[in-house]
Structure 1
Amino acid sequence: MKKIFAFLFGATLLWSCNPLEDTYKQLDDAQEPYKESIEYTLVDADYATASNAALKDATTKDDSTLAKAIKSNLAFNSRFPGKDYIPAILANNFPALSKGSSAKITYNEFAALPSYFADLSSIYTLTTSDYKKLWGSNTLYVEAFTPTVNVEDSLPVLLDKIFPDDSDGKYRFIAYNYSAEEAYTTGGLLQKVKFDFEEGTAYDPVANAWINKDLIGTKTWDYRSYSGNLYAQMSSYNSGEQNDVWLIRKFDKLDTIANPMLTFKVKVGFYNADCLHILISDDFDGNEANIATATWTDITSSFTLPQEPTSGYGASFEDAGSFDLSSYKGDTIYVAFQYVGNGTDNSATTTYQIDDVTISDDATILNVDETKKLYTVYSKNSNKWKLASDILILSDADYQELGFTNGYIPTTDAQTYLPIYLKVKFPYTLDGEVKNVAFRNDKDDVSSATVLQFNKVNGEWTINDFLDTHSDQFFNDGTKWFFDPTIHLTLGASDYQLLVDWVYNNLDRSYGSSYGNDEFYFGASAYYSNFDLRLSKRTQYNIPGFEGLTEEEQIALTWERLEEGLTILLSEKYPDATSEVAGFPVYYWVYFKTFENDFNNYYYVGIFQKTKDTHPFFERKKDIEDEMVNQGKLTSEDVSWNR
């Protein structure tokens, strides 16, 4: 049968030079049904046509971006796949071809990224509340893991509490503190109530339940911001008046705190006089008109207020000290920050900034002397959180070694440096190995991260851009072209894990290691993305069925079970599979890797079809494999397994 070939030799196909132009013209003129099998590679103009069609189907801004990308990238994507838009291209380019015609179309398409790429685009940093859950106490806790309260045992339990709605397959990139020394008890201040002024807007008067009143002038305490931190500030500088500005906050329910203490932080600028006073009243009624008539106790002497610098501002906020509020337990009190200044001659204009006004409990607390920030990735499998062994995380030492001393690496730089890093770190890995590397990618955004996947090819690590070249079959049923439903599946870690989980749930959990990512009944390994067929593993994990067999019989049994395992794996992955579409059989081409008794990796292909409605639904079709070998689409070595 004649085949029509069209090859892409440049950015644009010059149809005027197409040697088949006259043939198609004759066919069009004849207007007769014409059955043919062709092979064709999409060209720029075809992607442009598909892009325009996808734009008509777009419903969101993101859709439109992806539709336009078909033309600019010369590739389809998961939102607008080639199988949906190539039939229209065929109808336009080959109008004379009719019922029974087939077309093998070569085209580019970006594969859908693994779900964990989105999961690992952000880092979750454990909060104070999380550490309280970790230690099981609101008082006796530290914001860190320790050798006893360790990550391995405690973090999976904590993740269940933090993310109770996460389902299987979810990944979490976690930042946490770790102390190499155990926590110890001391006396200290345990924060109970805190006002940090973060609710305000810079240069507005302080509000939000604060009373803010100048009794003799027109000034107010204002919100100010520096380096992302909001605080309250007051100065009489150039006010042109005398000022008596009160910033007052109500505190009640002190009886719920065993030993209440008042603390705050302060910073001074351009000191020239003592302008700040701290006072307490238990008879003030909250009406600013009655500030002057209420009874106020001056407690300024209990605090240390800086008297420098006389030029510029202090380097940072300092703890001002503490005042014991035990005598006010059971009372409702008001705490006031009174600023008394003189802006008429600028003789008393010291700038005061206050922050973190806090009521704490003077109690026994846990402490650690030093912690360091660490990162880990966990994934949820079989409703349990487990260390994600398929994700490699860059450590502080790795960033340093790569020359990025700030603990992050921009994604564009990572694409250049990480292949070198992997070559040094894993010098003996074989071709076909895959590494997923997760890392911080932004200096200022502590939650920003990314993950890149690298493949070992010809001895070098190359980034996986997930751009695939497909050669798919399309058929014409007399009215339209449609996609050949054959499914090509290269088994990945998540696929092998499906079989691992099935074995754990249906056979015996002891058939796999404690890591939870392998099983040796069929041999599936999600960690290595292969089938481990070594007989030694069958002995190590007491896999039944091998007793009394010769070595040759044992090897044959591993192959029989591998084939059985593939039918189960496909049934787990495609529970809604169908055996045919529009009268055409649906075949599943499965590409997989083995690790055998000679300690070498081998690659095979199996063709399966759904043949029944009871699990497992699939059956290997050796006759179809042989037909594909005869057609040159597979080699005899590809399908030589378990024969």
Structure 2
Amino acid sequence: MKNTFYLLMLFIGIAITGCEPMEDIHDDIDEKISNIQAAEQYTLQEEDYEFLDLPEDQYEFDTEDEARELIPVLLSEVYPALGENSSVNVTFNVFDSIRVEEYMVTADDYPSEDYFSGLDDIQDFLDVKFPRAEEGKFVGLTYNTVANEESFTFNDSHFNFVVEELEDIYPAQTGNMNQHGNFERREGNNAYWSNEMILEAINIVLLENQEGVEGQKYNVSYDIYNGNPGTESMTVQFNGNAYVSVGGTAYELTTDDYDLVGAELSETYSGPAGNTAQYHSFDVGEGSDNFWSMDMLLEAFNIALMENYPDAVDGDKFELTYDVYSGGVSTRVQALVLENGSYVVDTEAAVSTIEVTNVFALTNGTWAMPITLEEDDYTEMGQSYPNFDDEEELAYKLSTFLEPQFPYAVEGFMVPVAFDFYNGTSTNTAYGIFVFEDGEFNYVPKVAERSLQFGNNGTEWVPDNTIRYTLSGSDYGIIASVLEDQYPTQVGSMEQYNNFDRREGNSAFWSDEMLVEAMQALLNEIAPDAEVGQPYVLTFDIYNGTNTTESLSLIKDESGAWVVPSDEDEE
């Protein structure tokens, strides 16, 4: 398409050498055409996306990897005359799924104990750590939290598995279990299962069926026979190697319990009690008119446990699971013990914590986890598979899906959503935001303009080997550890806000030269074995009066140092 000039010059050459045989002339033309070298800039147009057989009216790539795969096909069509060592810098559109900034919470980040006890702790932390965050920011947070106790119930397949695994060790017990599908609990019976033997069976089943997250607790229920059919439960915790019996009786408050608490305390705490009865949770947001203090919560816990366990005696322990509200609903677990006829906090109970990673989004002024679609949700929306593969389809179906879930949404209300998206080769979790406008939820897609360099190796067009790297929370910590003595003010600001202050005249200002030092420190840590000539483009958060990003290119030279590329390097 752009070779008129090259062909014109070739034909002028033909006229000058007109006495050569025509066959030689044609061979010479072909050779010269195939050896033309050039450095070009090219921006994809609508017809180019159509040429590549993308879905109708889709004028962007789903991923940058898709662009890397398809653009060489286009370049062969656009530049048939360009040969080895030619290069083209191609600008194109790509669907830019929301970037999730990763951050691992350190020991210094926790308010007191080395874990977050609930959503309110997490929200407080995110407000402090990202004070300049704008609406729509997503953070992938890795942190320690109280392990919510999960329920697990033995079914027939679990009993059968126990029989298979233990029949040589406990033939009488497993024979009886194989016949009746329960644990024999009559002491003196030759098929009797002791607590220790049941724990052994629980380990066999849970190790087969669960991931084994250290610190995770399970309340395991199973059928028994003690003269009459019945059920028992045992609370166990994974210690990294096996499940061990822990804690007291596990109990989770039901809607009836919240209604009972609301009725019993309606005169004493009219606002909080009414709120709990209505929403089936306890409002623990300080400053709220419906705030529940720990003393008030203990009164509520006593009402519920006295109702459900009237025969409990002093010394009996419980692990109570309940819902709280503080800008969002989350679950807490409280260890309790019955002393002198009243339930009090069991101070001897060890808090069980696990490390988890969850994504939080800042929308409507509050940090909360996005709505995550389950497999049934995709089925409800008419999807054949539990994912989407078309942006327009997901925009329409998710908008319809959200409307009944937020019947009182007001203009501008934002909902963050996590969904699975199939890009043609793999399924990945993606994130989006829907905004309520003009009576419906509208998807806020993001299409970004990107550029990639392609080179001709003499046979085909191939992407260059530049690695594009976006800094995350831990990367700023690496830079801080290297430069904190040299630039204490700048590093202090960077650690607090996870960005570089680019306001000239500000005491925390990072100059271009300082940014080069910062990126050199980072690459020395994350890419120490990179080969000579390896280029990087690093994208990092800055603050210049607004939150945005900048990018810096570095390349590893022959001495092993990371340097700003020269014009020669970039050719």
Give the TM-score range, shorter chain.
0.3 to 0.5
TM-score, length of structure 2 as denominator length: 0.39
More helix by share: 2
Asked which structure has the greater CA Rg, the reply is: 1
TM-score if structure 1 supplies the norm length?
0.36
